[in-house]
Amino acid sequence: MSKLAEKVQAELIQAIDNDELVLPTLPEVALKVREAVDDPNISIPALSKVIGNDAALTARIIKVVNSPLLRTSKEITDLQAAISRLGMNYTCNLATGLAMEQMFQATSDVVDRKMREVWNKSTEIAGICHVLCKHYTRLAPDQATLAGLVHMIGVLPILTYAEEHSELLADSISLNHVIEKIHPIIGDRILRAWDFPEQIACIPSQYLDFQRNSAKVDYVDIVQVATLQSYLGSQHPYTQLDWSQIPAFAKLGLDPTANMQDDEDLSAAMEAAMGMLQ
């Protein structure tokens, strides 16, 4: 590890330990949607009113409900009908995930490109999570999708830090090393600060523990397998691991040697799931 990476890593860890690291806040619309859904008496028209204040988010949710993955024979054109079709919790998780995209923007071109790259990877993994969850578990696909979208949220404060420290920005190897080492710790902190349920909040720090073996399949397993599947066909170091030794595959009942892209139905579902998030 370079001296620069060591220095930055030490500074960030100290800031985390002293609660001095400024954590990003959820976009206002996502906060309002989550607050609304926490109200046991919330109605679909009331939730529709909260989301309807954000025209872009409204359009995205209507697009999702009409996507090949979810659509029915009749096209849905208004938000209340979309929420009725999806359900309150699904709508809340979807709105949270989609609203987060606005956080992945920066003032400098270099950081903006990196943030776009992280967001695009997150949507790819979220799409695979949706399909894995639906086809191989009894867990909630909307939660799995949200898990995929937030698993790298800890990268944001690191890139914000890099934007203010040009020497780190100029050294992509050190920057990538710092991201790899620190984003899981920060990610957990952010999701807990946002009051995400523990089953999602623990994902950043656990999804790369390939020996992890919980009692039953959970969202960490789904994100882990989706991450590995996303690198199939590349030279990424994860493709060199012995996947047959990774417990998450067995818990999902998935053949570690199988490529989901080879199954036409699964491949089409993954394309649709990724498409609805973009």
Question: Can you give the residue ranges of every domain in the chain?
Answer: 3-23+106-276
pTM over 0.75: yes
Query: What is the arithmetic mean of pLDDT over 121-134?
Result: 93
End-to-end distance of the chain based on CA atoms, in angstroms? 35
pLDDT of residue 257: 87
Determine whether domain 3-23+106-276 maps to CATH 1.10.3210.10.
Answer: yes
Calculate Rg over the CA atoms of the chain: 19
What is the mean predicted confidence (pLDDT) over 163-170? 86
Q: Where does the pLDDT of residue 36 fall: very low under 50, low under 70, confident under 90, or very high at 90 and above?
A: very high
Which amino acid does the sequence have at 222?
A: I
Confidence of residue 13 (pLDDT cuts 50, 70, 90): confident
Q: Are 249 and 256 in contact (CB under 8 A)?
A: yes
Query: Please, which pLDDT band fits residue 220 given cuts at 50, 70 and 90?
Result: very high
Cα dihedral: 72, 73, 78, 82 (round 10): -10
Q: CA-CA distances (angstroms) from residue 181 to 169, 195, 224, 273?
A: 16, 24, 17, 29
